[in-house]
Amino acid sequence: MTTLSTYLNNATHTDNATAVSNVILTIADVGKNISALLRRGALAGILGEAGNENIQGESQKKLDVIANDLLLEALSSNPNCAGVASEELDNSTAASADGSLLVLFDPLDGSSNIDINMAVGTIFSILPYNNQGQSAVDDDFLQNGDQQLAAGYLLYGASTILALTLGHGVVMFSLDPDSGDYVLIKDNIQIDKDTSEYAINSSNHRYWLAPMQQYIDELVAGKDGERGRNFNTRWVAAMVGDVHRILCRGGIFMYPYDTKDAKKAGKLRLMYEANPMSFLIEQAGGASTDAINRIMSIEPTNIHQRVPVVLGCENEVNRVRDLHKQHNPA
């Protein structure tokens, strides 16, 4: 049996391996608390609205705030962590000036699932901190996804799963509720290049750009259309759940640009949703794009910036990108 701590002790992939391991263990420990709260659900008083909005104008659920506070508190007292940025915090928060790492997180992904007892998750991304000795500020976080030293998610589903990459493949652990250990269940996860399963919220169809409409229309037409075979839809309404399914059995996940609110580049956030998930998917042999450019190559300008996301099995992701390029030749 390999536990998370044994795995991390043996992993010497990054320059900063001990610090990275330490921060991952802190996040995984908080995950146990969030998982325990979710298991008690209504009995723990964690359901419902918090009664305020985050910087992105989204109303916060009680558990968004609780999960954020737990992660913030735990990471702030980890000496390796120089600062944190979160979906639920307007600005980044400086932690230990001598720390060598920055941590970005979506404390609770899939908030609309909390009150209906469905899967939710926590997404995290770990970046190097390049100004050690000084107090970290927002600008320090503005590094592209290729700089990530590690990334992963916790999925609070029927069981609690931790998926992780240190840049050398993807591994998965399952939380043993009896021992409290994260136990390795899958090593070197790889996904196929092709798939017949796709995830998208089709209620936005009329707001999508023409190439996205064309791509989905072809999938819906199935064996009677251009593609000559049938496709199936799955939508968890929590990116963690959809990405987990893709890592388990393939697929393509899309939250594309839409004109519902033309000011927003997409729904999902680059730095604590798209980048960490792209890192996992690429490490599993998949691809990730904003429909034109590779997501992890995007130079961020704001810690909360949004981005269209298309990720999963390579051949389908490339098809979406190619359709967009045909419509907008450079």
Should residue 251 be labelled a site residue for ligand AHG when binding is judged by CB under 6 A?
A: no
Distance CA 211, CA 77 (A): 47
Should residue 314 be labelled a site residue for Mn ion when binding is judged by CB under 5 A?
A: no
- Closest separation between CB of residue 44 and ligand AHG, Å? 19
Q: What is the DSSP string of 157-225?
A: SSSEEEEEESSS-EEEEEE-TTT--EEEEE-S----S--SEEE--GGGGGGB-HHHHHHHHHHHHGGGS
Q: Strand 306-307 relative to strand 268-269: parallel, antiparallel, unpaired? A: antiparallel
Q: Smallest Cα–Cα separation from 165: which of 289, 3, 7?
A: 7
Torsion of CA 218, 264, 239, 15, to 10 degrees: 120
Q: Smallest Cα–Cα separation from 163: which of 193, 192, 202, 123?
A: 123
Q: Total number of residues binding ligand AHG (CB under 6 A)?
A: 13
- Closest separation between CB of residue 297 and ligand AHG, Å? 22
Query: Judged by CB under 6 A, which of 11, 154, 184, 238 binds ligand AHG?
Result: 238
Pair 272, 315: CB distance under 8 Å: no
Q: In the chain, which ranges are continuous DSSP H helix?
A: 4-10, 17-40, 62-76, 138-141, 210-221, 239-249, 275-283, 314-327
The 3-class secondary structure across 92-109, one letter per residue, is: CEECCCCCCEEEEEEEEE
Query: Judged by CB under 5 A, which of 31, 87, 103, 164 binds Mn ion?
Result: 87
Binder of residue 62, out of Mn ion, ligand AHG, none (CB less than 5 to 8 A by kind)? none
Query: Judged by CB under 6 A, which of 75, 106, 208, 271 binds ligand AHG?
Result: 106
Query: Judged by CB under 6 A, which of 4, 149, 239, 311 binds ligand AHG?
Result: 239
Should residue 242 be labelled a site residue for Mn ion when binding is judged by CB under 5 A?
A: no
Binder of residue 201, out of Mn ion, ligand AHG, none (CB less than 5 to 8 A by kind)? ligand AHG
Tokens at 29, concatenated: 């420990």
Quote the longest CA-to-CA distance of the chain. Answer: 63
Query: Judged by CB under 6 A, which of 83, 110, 157, 250 binds ligand AHG?
Result: 110
Tokens at 90, concatenated: 């307007």
- Closest separation between CB of residue 64 and Mn ion, Å? 6
Binder of residue 139, out of Mn ion, ligand AHG, none (CB less than 5 to 8 A by kind)? none
Query: Judged by CB under 5 A, which of 78, 83, 109, 313 binds Mn ion?
Result: 109
- Closest separation between CB of residue 120 and Mn ion, Å? 9
Query: Judged by CB under 6 A, which of 109, 282, 290, 314 binds ligand AHG?
Result: 109
Should residue 157 be labelled a site residue for ligand AHG when binding is judged by CB under 6 A?
A: no
Binder of residue 237, out of Mn ion, ligand AHG, none (CB less than 5 to 8 A by kind)? ligand AHG
- Residues contributing to the site for ligand AHG (CB under 6 A): 58, 87, 106, 109-112, 201, 237-239, 255, 267
List residues binding Mn ion (CB under 5 A).
87, 106, 108-109
